[in-house]
Structure 1
């Protein structure tokens, strides 16, 4: 009887720790620890193929997470699920919510989320000072090929983040439309450090269904599985923001 109980308990633990991907039941999805956001929750997740190769890494915002967010802003560090550690180049995820946005004026000064997927360690990221304290490290830019072709550097840099790089062809920068969502890259002290879907709060509430090719560098300092696409989707009552179609890059 005790043996049967133990087997049942183990089975329950495995089921709780491994949620199946709705689109392909053969691909296990592992969920990180939930954190409170607005009237809902936020958590990280990773989906693997049957051969244990990573397919997607993402964030889920549950029902209510976009409501009642403090106007003073939010900064959440989402640890990756245990099963994802060391399986991709990514170390952790940071969600920042800015109620009045940030510079440049008239472009990104609306309520939005910065969703940073860091390849940099948490300790190294936290050690990044304000720009005036280490301009040489901010201005030490990655060599050609380590950021997507055509991306431009945004001014100065941000403490605990680094330098931000944007696509000048995006509608809000090219003058062809307003900011809804865009894909940002980051660097610090000569290295690529993050990929960041930056998404307007209003757009997330509009039941989005976006799947786009992700602009890629041609060189990778840290070999591993990198995403070919990114997506922003309403899935039932939840919002999912993910880096998808991962391929091994050397």
Structure 2
């Protein structure tokens, strides 16, 4: 009887990782839920059937955009343990700014900074004010490690670093207003984050966006990097993800 039960349990475990044709299926692992507004936010990573990471992102559940404090939000989303070492990313940081930030007339509207950090959390939090360590902020990555068309934005931000933006984006080229854009970050000579920056209004508009990532020509740290990013309404949730991960050396 004991042998029969053991066989049955092993069979059940095998079948939960297979489809009806006994073929392995893709798997998604989720991180810890954190309270945001009247809802929740949580990170996740998705793997293919052969255990290759294919996408990484976070989900905002129903109500997460409601009752956000005017003083702003700074929320760390730890990645699920299954993502550690399998992707180059360390954690996700959501910053909500009710009145936006500089430059005036460009990013001074309610929006989320959605940082996907390659940099370890403790190292990131140790980044000081620009005035304290200008040499480290001004130590920019060598040519090729930031998308070639990107430009540096002024100075730097504590616990973040230097921000880089696409001058051809609507809000910087004068062709339109800021709704969503993709920012890169660096500190002390290294690429440190990728950041979809998205207005509150855009997130509330039932978004259905997928765009090709502007990519550096080189990566200091080998790993699975995204070819696309996506911002979508999925049922009652909003899902923001870095998609089509590919191994880059």
Which residue in 2 is equivalent to 1:192? 191
Q: 1:67 to 1:6 in 2, by over 3 A?
A: farther
Equivalent residues in 2 for 1:149-168 (5 A)? 149-168=148-167
Aligned residues: 242
The structure number with the bigger radius of gyration is: 2
Q: Show the 5 A alignment for 1:71-86.
A: 71-86=70-85
Q: TM-score, normalised by structure 1?
A: 0.91
> In angstroms, what is the RMSD of aligned CA positions?
2.3
TM-score, normalised relative to structure 2: 0.92
What is the distance in 1 between the residues matched to 2:11 and 2:204?
37
For structure 2, the 5+ residue unaligned runs are 16-23
Name 1:226's counterpart in structure 2. 225
The equivalences for 1:54-133 within 5 A come to 54-133=53-132
Aligned counterparts, 1:21-36, within 5 A: 26-36=25-35
1:179 paired to 2:178: yes
Aligned twin of 1:147: 146
Q: In 2, Cα distance between the equivalents of 1:169 and 1:7?
A: 61
Question: 1:43 and 1:2, CA in 2 relative to 1: closer, same or farther beyond 3 A?
Answer: farther
**Aligned in 2, Cα 1:155/1:12: closer, same or farther, shift over 3 Å?**
farther
- Secondary structure (helix, strand or coil) at the match of 2:123 reads helix
For the structure 1 residues 125 and 13, does the alpha-carbon distance in structure 2 shift closer, same or farther, using more than 3 Å as the test? farther
Tell me which stretches of 4 or more aligned residues in structure 1 moved more than 4 Å.
1-15
Separation in 2, partners of 1:13, 1:177: 53
CA distance in 2, matches of 1:198, 1:14: 41
The residue that corresponds to 1:21 in the other structure is none
Counterpart Cα distance in 1 of 2:119 and 2:11 = 35
Describe the shift of the 1:149–1:39 C-alpha distance in structure 2 as closer, same or farther (beyond 3 A): same
Once the 2 structures are TM-superposed, how far is the Cα of residue 149 of structure 1 from its aligned partner?
A: 1.0
1:212-223 pair list within 5 angstroms: 212-223=211-222
Give the 5 Å matches for 1:31-50.
31-50=30-49
Residue of structure 2 equivalent to 1:134: 133
C-alpha distance in 2, partners of 1:51/1:82? 18
Distance 1:231 1:133, change over 3 A: same
**Distance in 2 of aligned mates of 1:219 and 1:75:** 30
Which residue in the other structure is 1:20 paired with? Answer: none
- Distance in 1 of aligned mates of 2:29 and 2:126: 29
**1:6/1:60 Cα in 2 relative to 1: closer, same or farther (>3 Å)?**
farther
SS of residue matched to 1:77 = strand
The Cα offsets for residues 96-133 of structure 1, whole Å up to 9 and x where unpaired, read as 00000000001100000000000000010000000000
List runs of 5+ in structure 1 lacking aligned partners: 16-24
1:26 shift after superposition: 2.4
SS in 1 for 2:131: helix
**CA 1:172–1:8: 2 relative to 1, 3 Å:** farther
